[in-house]
Amino acid sequence: MTTQNQDTLLLGHTLSLAKNPFETDPLECYVSDSQGGIFMRDGKIYATGTAEDLKSRFKQAKIVDYGSKLIVPGFVDAHVHYPQTAIIASWGKRLIDWLNEYTFPEEMKFHDPFYAKTIAERYLDLAISHGTTTCATYTTIHPESVEAIFQAADTRGMCMVAGKTCMDKNAPNGLMDTAQSAYEDSKRLLETWHGKNRCIYAITPRFAPTSTQEQLTALGQLWAEYPDCLMQTHISEQVEEIAWVKSLYPDTKDYLEAYERVGLLGDRAIYGHAIHLKEREKDRIKDVGASLVHCPTSNSFIGSGLFDMAGLTSRGHKVGLATDTGGGSSFSMLRTMAAAYEVGQLNAGPMHPANLLWLATMGSAQALHLDNQVGSLDVGKYADIVVLDLHSTPAIAQRTNMANDIWSALFPTIMMGDDRAVFDVWVKGQRMKYVNEV
Ligand code: GUN
Ligand code: ZN
């Protein structure tokens, strides 16, 4: 184990996105060095360059040499539900029934701080072992669930976006708060955690169907009082859900208006799923600069639909990528990139691997307004780093061996890789995945 303050030099094949490949030719967007290095000091990336140059500049540094393995930025998962860790891969339901049958009974358990801590730690250990170093998570209505995830992330030095999930209707007894308690609990939690080390608070109404207008209004007011917080919620995930919102809010033009008219639209808003948006909704979201999050394994698993990546990115929307664990069927951002590729094929056509890596790193970082801290291997950012083994299974290795450039070497790992491909993980300059000795 490397202590936080020890200068450390990682050597290997470095790869990071310097520009957005949805806006420029993907082949002109990346920085890569097959014999590169990352020098880490005090938890941050202090210098990058060739291995030779860094070795001669930082002679006292501890060296960890990964050979030809790939050093990339840690993955950023822009939408997860850590309390659903234990019910991932629950079979046979579409969204509303899946929530009622599996999700709500599990979320009830989080009134118990010991259970909340157990699952928070289990989730983070799984996420890190899959290469995720930053995430934005929903919690449950219980403040204990928020304390548990921030505490567990803080202990690991991780960047964590989280907030109390608020619901005051259409949920079981025992899993509802009120407009007032949602406001007061959220306010207390954000005053405790927002900006503490690497913790960021996101005001979190679950979605329009589980909040009264009074609760949405109270949370909009809270956001106006604390505008540097993020605000995360769901929008237009499934057609039955959209019809339900229409019946609950009959005087709104569309789903977004249920949020917009109570102050829950702004540039620091993050909307998960966003599959069936209408033109007006897209225009408003684009105008204010809010973010959308693509959750492809979830959208297939729950049967929600195909996110329009090509259409939305070409209009200039900010888009992140996410597992949506446990509606999503994986903890892996590699698996999620593969699903995004497949959904792209069913829509507008193939995405370049650079676009997939962008979504899982800088795209998600931008969506969460964290791109000045994480998402690339630039000097000054936190040393949140993943080392990929591009030969992690025989099936992947035999394909990688035929590759003639870095993107065709990485693509089989994107499509077929899992936590076995994640050879090592560094969070804030600390080594987190100890299984592999180099
Ligand atoms: N919409 C409201 N809550 C949820 C949830 O927990 N998961 C998903 N996928 N969609 C939601
Ligand atoms: Zn979700």
- Ligand 1 atom with the shortest distance to the CA of 234: 1
Q: What CA–CA distance (Å, rounded) separates 94 from 298?
A: 11
Residue 12 CA to ligand 1 center (angstroms) comes to: 39
Q: What stretches of 22-88 show up as alpha helix (H) in DSSP?
A: 51-57
Position 249, amino acid? Y
User: How many residues appear in the chain?
Assistant: 438
Antiparallel, parallel or unpaired: β 385-388 and 422-427: antiparallel
Of all protein residues, whose CA lies closest to atom 11 belonging to ligand 1? 234
**Ligand 1 pocket test: which of 176, 206, 240, 329 has the largest number of ligand atoms within 8 Å of its C-beta?**
206
Residue 433's pLDDT is 76
Give yes or no for residue 79 CB within 6 A of ligand 1: no
Q: Which bound ligand lies closest to the C-alpha atom of 270?
A: 2
Give yes or no for residue 299 CB within 6 A of ligand 1: no
Give per-residue pLDDT as tens, 163-175.
999 999 999 999 9
How distant, in Å, are the alpha carbons of 96, 189, 245 from that of 309? 25, 34, 24
Give yes or no for residue 209 CB within 6 A of ligand 1: no
- Ligand 1 atom with the shortest distance to the CA of 84: 6
Q: What CA–CA distance (Å, rounded) separates 370 from 16?
A: 16
Name every residue whose Cβ is closer than 8 Å to that of residue 362 and which is 6 or more positions away in sequence: 17, 20, 73, 371, 375, 376
The full set of domains in the chain, from first to last, is 8-73+377-431 (2.30.40.10), 75-367 (3.20.20.140)
Mean pLDDT of 390-414: 98
Token couple for 253: 């033009």
Give per-residue pLDDT as tens, 141-160.
999 999 999 999 999 999 99
Give yes or no for residue 298 CB within 6 A of ligand 1: yes
Summary mean pLDDT of the chain: 96
Mean pLDDT of 265-280: 98
pLDDT confidence tier of residue 290, bands split at 50, 70 and 90: very high
How distant, in Å, are the alpha carbons of 11, 248, 411, 412 from that of 396? 23, 49, 9, 6
Mean pLDDT of 84-98: 95
Token couple for 200: 């960021």
Q: What CA–CA distance (Å, rounded) separates 272 from 231?
A: 11
**Ligand 1 pocket test: which of 95, 235, 294 has the largest number of ligand atoms within 8 Å of its C-beta?**
95
Four-CA torsion 198, 339, 424, 56, nearest 10 degrees: -80
Has residue 434 got a pLDDT over 90? no
Mean pLDDT of 23-51: 97
Of all protein residues, whose CA lies closest to atom 9 belonging to ligand 1? 327
Residue 195 CA to ligand 1 center (angstroms) comes to: 26
Token couple for 162: 């989280």
- Ligand 1 atom with the shortest distance to the CA of 302: 9
Percent of the chain, pLDDT > 90? 97
Residue 234 CA to ligand 2 center (angstroms) comes to: 6
CA 340, 362, 34, 421 torsion-angle sign: negative
Give yes or no for residue 81 CB within 6 A of ligand 1: yes
Residue 307 CA to ligand 2 center (angstroms) comes to: 14
**Ligand 1 pocket test: which of 82, 97, 99, 167 has the largest number of ligand atoms within 8 Å of its C-beta?**
99
Residue 355 CA to ligand 2 center (angstroms) comes to: 23
Q: What CA–CA distance (Å, rounded) separates 292 from 428?
A: 27
pLDDT confidence tier of residue 437, bands split at 50, 70 and 90: low
Residue 435's pLDDT is 54
Residue 327 CA to ligand 1 center (angstroms) comes to: 7
pLDDT confidence tier of residue 2, bands split at 50, 70 and 90: very low
Mean pLDDT of 52-60: 97
Instruction: Say if residues 295 and 324 touch (Cβ distance below 8 Å).
Output: yes
Give yes or no for residue 207 CB within 6 A of ligand 1: yes
Report how far Cα 229 is from the mean position of its chain's Cα atoms.
Answer: 17
Give yes or no for residue 104 CB within 6 A of ligand 1: no
Of 380, 378, 377, 405, which Cα lies nearest the Cα of 390?
405
Residue 42's pLDDT is 97
Residue 3's pLDDT is 47
Neighbours of 350 (CB within 10 A): 10
Mean pLDDT of 247-266: 97
Give per-residue pLDDT as tens, 361-380.
999 999 999 999 999 999 99
Instruction: Say if residues 17 and 354 touch (Cβ distance below 8 Å).
Output: yes
pLDDT confidence tier of residue 1, bands split at 50, 70 and 90: very low
Has residue 223 got a pLDDT over 60? yes
Q: What CA–CA distance (Å, rounded) separates 303 from 392?
A: 31
Has residue 316 got a pLDDT over 70? yes
Q: Which bound ligand lies closest to the C-alpha atom of 79?
A: 2
Name every residue whose Cβ is closer than 8 Å to that of residue 44 and which is 6 or more positions away in sequence: 380, 381, 382, 383, 429
Position 127, amino acid? A
Three-state DSSP at 38 gives strand
Name the one residue in this structure whose structure tokens are 């446990």: 326
Q: State phi, psi for 372 to the nearest 5 degrees.
A: -85, -5
Name the one residue in this structure whose structure tokens are 């956001």: 223
Has residue 65 got a pLDDT over 80? yes
Give yes or no for residue 201 CB within 6 A of ligand 1: no
Instruction: Say if residues 48 and 377 touch (Cβ distance below 8 Å).
Output: yes
Residue 98 CA to ligand 1 center (angstroms) comes to: 9
3-state secondary structure 231-277: EEEEECCCHHHHHHHHHHCCCCCCHHHHHHCCCCCCCCEEEEECCCC
Give yes or no for residue 375 CB within 6 A of ligand 1: no
Cis bond upstream, residue 326 (ω within 30): yes
**Ligand 1 pocket test: which of 106, 324, 325 has the largest number of ligand atoms within 8 Å of its C-beta?**
324
Antiparallel, parallel or unpaired: β 30-41 and 132-138: unpaired
Q: Which bound ligand lies closest to the C-alpha atom of 293?
A: 2
Name every residue whose Cβ is closer than 8 Å to that of residue 406 and which is 6 or more positions away in sequence: 13, 15, 32, 34, 70
Mean pLDDT of 22-43: 97
Q: What CA–CA distance (Å, rounded) separates 66 from 387?
A: 8
Residue 311 CA to ligand 1 center (angstroms) comes to: 24
Give per-residue pLDDT as tens, 107-130.
999 999 999 999 999 999 999 999
Instruction: Say if residues 204 and 163 touch (Cβ distance below 8 Å).
Output: yes
Has residue 54 got a pLDDT over 80? yes
Half-sphere exposure (Cβ direction) of 337: Cα atoms closer than 13 Å: 30
Percent of the chain, pLDDT > 70? 98
